[in-house]
Structure 1
């Protein structure tokens, strides 16, 4: 017999006549029964007693011209006769059927089932039931069968068969649709209870696959930042699907999203819009996609698929999926709203905790470390920088780094680069692609680390910008307005903490300086020990000017016309410096002594008045201030302070 999946070759019966009533069927069956008895009686009678050709039914017209099918069987289920209607139903010729049995034709019952049914008919005299026969091309045909048993000639079964295929298909489709709709209702209740977005998306894909009998599937969510559909959850596909970002109008999900309606593609591998990545990494042969819409707004797309050898999708599948997609879109929006509400509650608590943390200390460096740590935590960002503004130098320098190595180029001039722009304008700045933004001075650094986005927030009090808080991410990220406001509130709290720490440190320094000056004053007025006085002066300078290099020049006891370096603090090579001599008329020291006024030089390397420039370069000195030591009318030496 031909394969069952071949399509019918015989044309369908087009019968527009009204269906007969039950009484008419019984009457026709009785007529057929009488005619069969008459024919069998003639066959059993002597040849001379047969009716003339005029009296006989030519070619069995009543049987063979009937609209319904007719089959005559023996009790072994062999086909003894069949009319034209049944031949058309099953696609066989009458001659072919006369060589066959009912088990050859039956699509759903076993030979044993057929023998049992024949025994019942013989016992009861007839019966009525539904059967499914196979056409010659392998396609099934549903039949309503009315059978009458005649005991003559070893027993005969007269069968009237009506084609009810269309009705049964409609019933099965209706039953399947009802099952799908009931399934959708149950699934809708299930997904409406799930408020965790990640679990919800997995659940939606799983239930959708089961709803239409797909092999696998995926859910794509629309992201305004990228202008694309991004896969968020999938079934029966590997991690390669995470790279399948789809723009509107591209691929099956993109076409469904652009049209705002479902789409079925049962020949996916030859479909012009098929994704090369999907064709390469999967065996998908058929696919169906349905947009997820909530109040006419695109939420995403639900795409399901069937692999080679699997099922094709129907319009019934699309209708069921469309109904499910509506409920899924609402569930996704509810989960997002729930997450936003939870996040707002958490962010308020996080802001309060962060505020307490950053306001809890008065050490500036510790405060900066806490600010960077809390910023990384509340923003869920690994790469954070806290930059400080140096108003005197008009630069920004690195205060604290989190998750990053120190990039080259710092300190940066205020107004240069992304963070310099934030420091200059006092306004937040967001960059979606720092690797290719012409304003970024750190683009090579960002490319090397794979950083993609930048967010810079000013840390300011009133109109003064104290620093810049930056966030870098390696994945695309957008910041909503309320999220920016949240981070800006934290930056304001950070500014207060920095200012408090600075004021505290300034007050501590002033107190320390005052104490140092008091100690120095007591030493100068109470001791005559020359060495002790010198040590106390240099120690005081280290406190009063942190990081400075101090040098004390006095008249040389052996060369009264020269000044000699007698003591120093902060020099790299203090021993070699002691050999330095200065004439009272030479260099910055001589100028301070002769003029009896303080002398300064902002760049000693380029100042021709500064002697021993090679020595200053070796010591790393850039600027210097010289103060003459005068008591009454007599100059005793000079004190040089350099950085």
Structure 2
């Protein structure tokens, strides 16, 4: 009813009530609110309907959900005429505070039963409900404490104790996570070993280090005091930058923090209980008291568990000691028997020779290894003197020095006879007990052989390195000598052409030319040893080659030496320079003849040889595979081992002065090595010498040898312009004269820089003729640069080394011709025409 319709007395009475009263009309509009109701709602609003009441005063259900307007007690009384008794709802005031109201609503009717509106009465029930809730929580906490105390009091396993109290703490104070750290030191030297977690997976915590003694943790870990923090991010004891004084980066979010020390009855700090929550201000003094009680229960239970563990360990150790003593007494005889069986088994199955020897040096007992290693049965050894099995050269003088040295513990090696008549090298150790010697010997024959093979391999390596070094030196000398011979032969050749036929001067020039040719042959032998001679490998049938040399060999060795040739059937073809191979065989035959001054037999044998990996590597220092061998054997005077070791050295000879250059075997050695093969020599004094050449097998069949066609006449130049490059003035001058003699125009340069300048200035240069070995930029790189500037330019290289060596390390390809020094005017003229005409 409207407020104006209320009697003044009624309004005064309602205004004095401690209970709130709200009146509405039949439309649900609020017509009256007394002072108590206004205070409950935080204001006074009239003229609002039931639909607005819930939103205006933010009415919520008791559990905090919004009320549906039609479900409000006032609405139900107005709209449906219901009587709603003992209802409860939340009111959120304008200042943000909330209360829980309790009241009733009923319709208002006149005497005729007509509805005039509704009345809602209410009062603040918050304090009573909070008291009831606190009482329930306290009862629950006490029940939890009693349960935890009872649980851990009867628990003796430390892990379950700390897990129980940690779980209980999380539940009691509503923490999101809890942890118990046991006050100990782990293997990494870190203190506070994590023992239990609650509210978080243990594996998610593995990557974090143990808690440090920061200002936040230290009081708890030291047992000084309990620490409660409403917000660790605002606490000065918590660091925000490294070094972190609180929680490490990536730690689960914690704002509220509570740490409670766990201290034993003796005062020793056992550890600490730590709890956290991601929201600030979640822990209270009440929570401190609860966790102090939990910590006390934990300390008592941990003390009891530790005491029980110590007692159980002592009891267990005592029982174990008693059991070990009983077992020792019961199994002494069995263990003695077992040890005896083990000793016998070791004696029987040992791969080392075991022997017991008496004071007279006779075998009393030997192990089965004597049969395995040496072929002797025990019955064939026992009772016999030890010296009867030892190699005579290894028997020391006297009766017992060998055994006396063994008895002193000194290691000793000797050769012991195998039943098959051979000897094995045995390394002995022994000890003496009164008049009995106990000896143990190990077969070291294979180790000795391996050591010997290693020593041979090292010697072969040193020899190879020596030959390589000498080869480099020899090749350098030959190269320089070829440069000098190029000047001599070129000058003599041009001089000879200008002298009258039959004149004394022409004869002198011819004699000088012959001497220079012999000197050139000598340099070729030096280059052969250095593996730098020019080779022209072709498929070769060694049987046919040796057969074709038969008459030449007969004349070379003379009538006092019998020549025998043994050709292998189905001999494989090989790839080699046939002329150089003939020279090598002829050199060996001549050396063999000189070794048989009284006559004898010279045998030349061909064979197919397949070398296995181990034999090729250890004995011959060459790759495994198929080879063709040519062996030259004589029955001459032979050589001593020290002479065999030096046989391939250049300038080493066993002949008297003036009878040899010492380059024969060196040339053979260099040619075979340059051809990818190997050569061996075996010789004994008074038993002759055998030299074997190994050449790689070639796939397919060898073509027949073709006779060289006659050399064409010397062609003349056609006044083409040749760019001549050589850093040696004398060589350059002779070559320039020779080129002009042949009919060419010549530009001279002493190096690459000047040559490239002349090439740019003279576009009519037809051919670049350059030495390979020059300072700064050599002839190979000069040719490459010149062809880049002038594509299609003809190039001819010349060198005192072999073509094979000259084409190493970045040479132009096989399309670049090369002329070896020294050369005659005819050879130069033919080569120039071949290059210029593309022949």
| TM-score, length-scaled by structure 1 | 0.45
Which has the greater radius of gyration? 2
